[in-house]
Amino acid sequence: MRRAFLLLIAFLLLSAGGLSANTLLVTASGTFSSTTPTSTFSAPGESWSFSFEVDSMPVVLSSESDLEFSPSFTDFTYTLDGSAVAITPANIQFYSADDGGLLNVCFAPACPSSSNPTNGFELEGAQAYSGLVTSPTINTGV
């Protein structure tokens, strides 16, 4: 998807647990442009939003060099024009600042690394984690 989406990214701390990882809620929303193709998750001029939960110190399912990683996530929800859409990402990737920052959400098929997906969302901005891609800590408030 194009980077022209109106985005709102918020990481909210949902629970605290001593030295253990905290569960964070990641949310984003926006409006598709009038030229966006219609698909399972998109429609021209329609609003969208998604959310998912990730641990502050997530299990890393895969990583590539020092640029990106795919964390384990749960409870993905997606709405299009206010209606729930039953769709689950094939993968979610967090990117380093050197690779555009923030994250991609990719539906089937999974996004290859460092991609501008046509099957999901590319959200650019500040890097949303600290540490190494093999053992990251998700930053709150990004």
Least confident window among 20-29, 49-58, 127-136: 20-29
Alpha carbon distances (Å) from 135 to 1, 75, 121, 127, 139: 28, 22, 24, 15, 13
Contact 130, 137 (CB under 8 A): yes
What percent of the chain clears pLDDT 70, i.e. is strictly above it? 84
Asked if residue 101 has pLDDT above 50, the reply is yes
Q: What three-state secondary structure class fits 99?
A: helix
